[in-house]
Amino acid sequence: MISLNWKIEIEEAQRFEDLKSTPRGLPSPNLDPLTTLGIEARNDAERRHYAELWVKQEYERTEKELKFQREVDAAWKRLMPNMLPVNMGNAAGIAHDSGGRLALFVREADCQRCDARLSAVLADKRPVDIYLVDSEGSDHKLRDWAKQHRISDEQVRDRRITLNHDAGRWMRYGNGILPVLLQQGESGWHIAVF
């Protein structure tokens, strides 16, 4: 039940369901209840309430992920003590050690982490092949996504950035992690950061 999963009242869950059938729900059908209710808040107090709920839940989610990541790090040290699990590179998580081309796999719909990773990659100014995993083979969708993310025609013409339909590469090379950034090295593609 939505209300229990998101820690909202039944009336709030019903309002969220109602909002999904309005113009709010059409362009953003996968928005979570707290974001939807916060965006469509009827007053400042309601907006603050949903923002605080969102932050609390995001904190809990992040803490769980960090705890698991610490266990994964410990497992790497125990099981593969002479091997680095991921080359974390610079502060944005992009490795600079090879100068190899990058490949970034992102999703168009509701992926804030994808947008953040894209921003870091674009700021790094390295050649990158971008794969939109949910483009459904639509060039129009790919072009619209690029325009929304301010990828210039010049960057694409100069092949500094290529825009691609995924066609299954994400599952093959990115292990289903999203967003994922691959780097081309001497032995082929490897996960640079996710």
pLDDT by residue (tens digit) across 51-72?
Answer: 999 889 888 888 888 788 788 8
pLDDT tens, residue by residue, 107-120: 887 778 888 888 88
How far is Cα 194 from Cα 108, in angstroms, rounded to an integer? Answer: 17
How far is Cα 29 from Cα 154, in angstroms, rounded to an integer? Answer: 32
Confidence check: pLDDT of 175 > 50: yes
To 5 degrees, how large is the angle CA 95–CA 191–CA 151? 70
User: How far is the CA of 138 from the CAs of 143, 146, 163, in angstroms?
Assistant: 9, 13, 12
- Looking at the chain, the whole-number percentage of residues with pLDDT higher than 90 is 10
Confidence check: pLDDT of 193 > 70: no
Q: Using pLDDT thresholds of 50, 70 and 90, give the confidence band for residue 49.
A: very high
How far is Cα 179 from Cα 121, in angstroms, rounded to an integer? Answer: 12
